[in-house]
Structure 1
Amino acid sequence: MRKTVAYISFSTLMFSLMEIALKMAGGAFDPIQLNLIRFAVGGLVLLPIAVRALKKQNRRLDWRDLGLFAITGFVCVIISMTLYQLAIVYSPAATVAVLFSCNPVFALLFSYLILHERLGRANLISVVVSVIGLLVIVNPAHLTNIVGLTLAVTSALTFGLYSIISRYGSQKRDLNGIVMTCFTFLTGTVELAVVVLLTHVPVVSHAMGQVGFLKQFVNIPVIQNISWQYLPLLFFIGVCVTGGGFAFYFLAMETSDVSTASLVFFIKPALAPILAAFILSEQISLPTIIGIVIILLGSVITFIGNRSKSIRSEMGQPVYPEKEREREPGESLISKVKSYNSNVEDED
């Protein structure tokens, strides 16, 4: 139990400092360059743990696995995390942290739309509550930072999509979370490196320079400003925050369960703005505070629902009692569950 608490505490602290550290590094590094560095380092930090997990499974990666990593790497690193990095440039770190923490809400919606998984009552309520919290923070009636808020919300949305693709792929290919995350990071880094190098090709850079919003992505630097002066900050971002944060999150999952480990993402919306206020002296507006409280309420509802499901599953009771009540006399539970075409593990 002490190990689990330590793992969750470290992971929560690292994830809550993520936007702050990236904001601090933003003045010295290009956003895409920083994205490339941190996922390269983070993937390498996770690699020994992932290799150990594969050996324990007596499993070798094949071309189909690499194809899956190519998809998850593209959605996670190139799309979601690039939008996330740009959101930190245009918005306060605390705002991005809170909005991005809502990505599990989008994951639930994608699981329903794509995988046709059933939304439990608790998660359905959580989605509604979290969306209300998002609207309070964004405040559509008085938008002052359309670009930053759009980038942050789109980043959370696409990360939710990545989560569902990753979970579906890992189940199909029998790959655990640490292996999926590690090779997603490494493959996404390779893909992003190709994109960065393309911006240095004269024909490509000239064409990008003709488009207003693409001008900032011409000749993206690779090693610029990587020096002893910034090495401690890059070490913290790559090794501690990206690599260590995810590593300890998965270690917490191994020593407890998914719902307990997910406390990391439930605490972050409250802790990150406090840290941003102390470290970056960011002002937290009243609507943001109200939105944070509402989102935390939604997170608590999700956590309680997931714990309840986990306990019922361990005790051999139906995960969805209402389905048991609806079962017709003489009809087996298995046939009823099949008729609903649901997955009892639809909410991690």
Structure 2
Amino acid sequence: MKKTALFIGLSTVFFSLMEITLKSAGNAFNPIQINWIRFSIGGIVLLPFAIRSLRIQGQMLHWRDLKLFALTGFTCLVVSMTLFQLSISYTQASTVAVVFSANPVFALIFSYLILHERLGRANFLAVIISIIGLLVIVNPANLTDPVGLTLAITSAMTFGLYSIISRYGSVHRGYNGIVMTCFTFLVGAVELFVLIEITNIPTIAHAMKSVGWLSQFSAIPLFNNVNMHFFWMLFFVGVCVTGGGFAFYFLAMERSNVSTASLVFFIKPGLAPIFAALLIGDKIVLTTIIGIVIIIFGSVVTFMGNRRREGTHAKMGAD
């Protein structure tokens, strides 16, 4: 139990510092470039754990799995994480951290719409509570940062969609979370690499540069500012956050259960804004504090509902 608590603690701290670390890099890295760097590193860090898991389960990857990982990699890295990185450049890291932590709520909605899974009373209540929390943080009546918040919410929504696609693939292919995540990262990084190379084709680069909002996606660099000055930042987001954070999360899941491990995402909305205020001076306004409390309450409802459902399944299995 002590090791489980340690794994959850480390994963929570790493994930809570993610937005702050990326924000501190400023404009040194292109959003797609930093995603390619950190998920390439994260996938490599997870690879030994994934190989070990495959050997223990007596499984092998097949070429047909490439389509699955291409889909999860595209949804997670190319779409969700690009939107996530862009949102950090437009709004406060603490706001992005809280909004993105609501991605399990969107996953519940997609599981109902796509997988036709029953949305229990606890989960339905959690969805309502979390949406209210998001509305309090966004504050539509006095919206001063529509772009950043829209990007953050869309990132959380698409990450929730990725979670459902990944779960669907996991059930049908029999791969556990760490295998799905590792190869999602690696294949998604290849997709990002191809996308980066396409933006460096002169005609495409010129066309994108002529469109204002697309200019930052013109001629995306691969290794610009990858030097000793940013070494520790890249090491932290690649090895500690993207690789270690997920590794510790899945290790906690192996030693306990999904609900216990998911405490990581329930604690983050409260912890990340505190880190942001202490480390980079983010201001936490009253509406944000209220929204955080509401979202955490919604997360607790989700947690209790999941624990109750797992307990019911375990009892039925024992019977």
1:126 aligned residue: 126
Map residues 1-348 of structure 1 onto 2, 5 A cutoff: 1-316=1-316
1:149-189 deviation line (CA, Å, top 9, x unaligned): 00000000000000000000110011100000000000000
Opposite residue 274 of structure 1, the aligned amino acid is: I
Deviations along 1:129-158, whole A, 9 cap, x unmatched?
000000000011111011100000000000
- The one-letter amino acid of 2:95's match is T
1:97-144 CA-partner distances (Å, limit 9, x unpaired)? 000000000000000001111001100000000000000000111110
How far is 1:317 from its partner?
7.9
Q: Of the two, which has the highest radius of gyration? A: 1
Task: Find the residue that maps to 1:282 and give its secondary structure.
Answer: coil
Deviations 1:58-87 (A, max 9, x none): 211111111100000000000000000000
Residues 248-273 of structure 1: CA distance to partner in whole angstroms, max 9, x if unpaired? Answer: 00000000000000000000000000
Q: Distance in 1 between matches of 2:42 and 2:66?
A: 18
Q: Which moved more, 1:181-190 or 1:29-38?
A: 29-38
The 3-state SS of whatever aligns with 1:315 is helix
For 1:214 and 1:31, locate their aligned partners in 2 and report how far apart those are by CA, in whole Å. 12
| SS class of match (2:64) | helix
By how many angstroms is 1:230 displaced? 1.1
User: 1:211 and 1:235 mapped to 2: Cα distance?
Assistant: 34
Q: Deviations over 1:39-59 (max 9, x none)?
A: 000000000000111111221
Q: Secondary structure at the match of 1:224?
A: coil
* Structure 2 counterpart SS, 1:308: helix
Give, in whole Å, the separation in 1 of the partners of 2:38 and 2:239: 8
Query: What residue number does 1:336 align with?
Result: none
For the residues of structure 2 that align with 1:110 and 1:44, how far apart are their CA atoms?
A: 29
Separation of aligned partners in 1, 2:189 and 2:160: 19
The 10-residue stretch of structure 1 (291-300 or 199-208) with the greater mean CA deviation from structure 2 = 199-208
CA distance in 2, matches of 1:173, 1:246: 21
8 Å Cα contact 2:4/2:252 also seen in 1? yes
Specify the code of the residue in structure 2 equivalent to 1:35. N
Root-mean-square deviation (CA), in Å? 1.1
Unmatched 5+ stretches in structure 1? 319-348
Q: Secondary structure at the match of 2:274?
A: helix
- For residues 313 and 206 of structure 2, the distance between their equivalents in structure 1, rounded to whole angstroms, comes to 58
Distance 2:309 2:17 in 1: 31
Q: Which amino acid aligns with 1:107?
A: A
More helix by share: 2
The whole-number CA distance in structure 1 between the counterparts of 2:89 and 2:47 is: 29
Distance 1:29 1:218 in 2: 13
CA distance in 1, matches of 2:111, 2:315: 25
Structure 1 residue 27 displacement after superposition: 3.3
Q: TM-score, normalised by structure 1?
A: 0.90
What 5-or-longer segments of structure 2 have no aligned partner? none
Could you tell me how far 1:212 is from its partner in structure 2? Answer: 2.1
Give 1:228 deviation, angstroms. 1.2
* Residues 30 and 216, structure 2, Cα contact 8 Å, conserved in 1: no
Give the aligned length. 318
Q: Distance in 2 between matches of 1:145 and 1:37?
A: 28
CA positional deviation for 1:31 = 1.7
Q: Which amino acid aligns with 1:219?
A: A
Deviates more, 1:58-67 or 1:243-252: 58-67
Q: Which amino acid aligns with 2:279?
A: I
Distance, in Å, in 1 between the alignment partners of 2:158 and 2:229 is 34
Residue 217 of structure 1 aligns to which amino acid in structure 2? Answer: F
Between the aligned partners of 2:173 and 2:261, the Cα distance in structure 1 is 23
